[in-house]
């Protein structure tokens, strides 16, 4: 396709977690003709996640759950700062990533007459997405059920969750000094780790040491030392890492994933055909992590176990049924691959370009969309 005469600037606003940031990075990579700039919360690790791939600038945003009586004044202040940033960057449009950090930037865009587009990868739209949807030019959705919480007039497309680059990796357990001949359980708490999930797994593993499997455990930086010390007292092959940027390597080594059910994790397991057991985070008011799993469970690609149900006996049964039984694993993997949306980033990029046509199109010139 023909590239524009000059690069348009699109500001991606939000972040704070990998679940918000990684789909946005995949979307930005799918639009190479645009100049993508990320405005992210300071001190949440987003600059390290972006790793120099795009310009990244800090912008503080208030949270409504912290001193809510001050939120209106703090939001007004944040909108003013966001207006100055957008003006300095000569932004042509804004993409809101969901979560509190995108709210002031999207509101600032509206006051400046700029269009904004929303990314909503969860099955239930978050509070920020619902607030901003009324004036959005469009929204790319990870799940069809998200439409139920959005205005009917909003221009939406169910694209799936854009997948991070390099997700399809080669390799196996040997890359982590594990035995290639043993089935491997990958435990993932998310980019921030999940202490309660780690604790449940560590409590259950002593009752499984007689089984022929091994563990690759991504414990999160704050909990890695505790998890490592626990494995040192077990007669079970394991590798503990605080975090892994190249998640494709971990998935390539895994025969079964045990994880929280954030939208990105679910989408990645489906796209790669990896069987999964999801333990949804139980403290979200809308319980969106449970909703994220529904299609995968119906298709036979995954199972869901609530935290209170993950007793040692249930954990052992899952290992025997889903990890050690090869035929069952293969059925789940095939079901996952049928549901996966590996081209979600390109599909969402095309929808964004259609939705923001007035902001990004230049006469008859089109903006390139590609991998």
- Tens-digit pLDDT profile for residues 210-230: 999 999 999 988 899 999 999
For residue 63, the 8-state DSSP code is -
SS3 assignment, position 66:
coil
Of the candidate ranges 64-78, 153-167, 324-338, the one whose mean pLDDT is the lowest: 64-78
- Between CA 323 and CA 300 the distance in angstroms is 15
Q: How far apart are CA 305 and CA 261, in angstroms?
A: 11
Asked if pLDDT for residue 2 goes beyond 60, the answer is: no
Please determine, for residue 82, whether its predicted confidence score (pLDDT) is greater than 70: yes
**203 pLDDT higher than 90:** yes
Average pLDDT estimate for 326-337:
93
pLDDT for position 161: 96
What pLDDT is recorded for position 287? 82
Contact between residue 118 and residue 136 where contact means Cβ atoms under 8 Å apart = yes
Three-state SS letters, 267-281: HHHHHHCCCEEECCC
Whether the CB-CB separation of 267 and 339 falls below 8 Å is answered with no
Q: Which residue has the tokens 């209106």?
A: 72
Average confidence (pLDDT) over 193-203: 89
Q: Can you read off the two tokens belonging to residue 12?
A: 């991606």
Distance CA 19, CA 21 (A): 6
Please report the domains of the chain, with CATH numbers, ordered by start residue: 9-163+343-360 (3.40.50.2000), 173-339 (3.40.50.2000)
Model pTM score: 0.89
Mean pLDDT of the chain: 90
List pLDDT tens digits, range 341-353: 999 999 999 999 9
- pLDDT confidence of residue 270: 96
* CA dist., res. 118 & res. 133, Å (int): 8
């Amino acid at each position: 396709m023909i590239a524009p005469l000059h690069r348009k600037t699109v500001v991606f606003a939000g972040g704070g977690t990998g679940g918000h940031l990684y789909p946005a990075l995949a979307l930005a990579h799918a639009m190479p003709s645009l100049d993508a700039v990320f405005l992210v919360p300071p001190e949440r690790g987003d600059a390290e996640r972006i790793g120099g791939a795009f310009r990244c600038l800090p912008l503080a945003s208030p949270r409504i759950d912290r001193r809510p009586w001050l939120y209106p004044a703090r939001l007004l202040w944040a909108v003013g700062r966001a207006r100055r940033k957008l003006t300095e960057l000569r932004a042509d449009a804004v993409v809101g990533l969901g979560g509190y950090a995108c709210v002031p930037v999207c509101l600032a865009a509206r006051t400046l007459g700029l269009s904004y587009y929303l990314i909503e990868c969860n099955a239930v739209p978050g509070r920020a997405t619902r607030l901003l949807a009324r004036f959005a030019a469009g929204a790319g959705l990870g799940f069809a059920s998200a439409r139920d919480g959005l205005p009917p007039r909003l221009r939406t497309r169910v694209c799936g969750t854009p997948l991070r680059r390099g997700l399809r990796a080669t390799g196996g357990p040997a890359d982590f000094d594990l035995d290639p001949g043993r089935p491997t359980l990958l435990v993932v708490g998310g980019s921030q780790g999940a202490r309660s999930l780690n604790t449940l797994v560590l409590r259950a593993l002593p009752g499984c040491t007689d089984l022929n499997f091994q563990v690759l455990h991504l414990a999160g930086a704050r909990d890695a030392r505790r998890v490592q010390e626990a494995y040192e007292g077990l007669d079970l092959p394991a590798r503990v890492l605080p975090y892994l940027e190249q998640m494709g390597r971990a998935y390539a080594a895994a025969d079964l994933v045990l994880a929280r059910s954030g939208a990105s994790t679910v989408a990645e397991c489906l796209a790669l055909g990896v069987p999964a057991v999801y333990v949804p985070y139980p403290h979200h008011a809308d319980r969106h992590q449970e909703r994220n799993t529904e299609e995968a469970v119906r298709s036979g690609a995954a199972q869901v176990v609530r935290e209170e149900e993950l007793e040692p006996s249930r954990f052992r049964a899952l290992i025997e049924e889903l990890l050690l039984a090869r035929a069952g694993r293969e059925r789940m993997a095939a079901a996952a691959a049928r549901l996966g949306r590996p081209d979600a980033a390109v599909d969402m990029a095309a929808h964004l370009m259609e939705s923001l046509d007035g902001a990004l199109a230049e006469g008859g010139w089109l903006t390139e969309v590609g991998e």
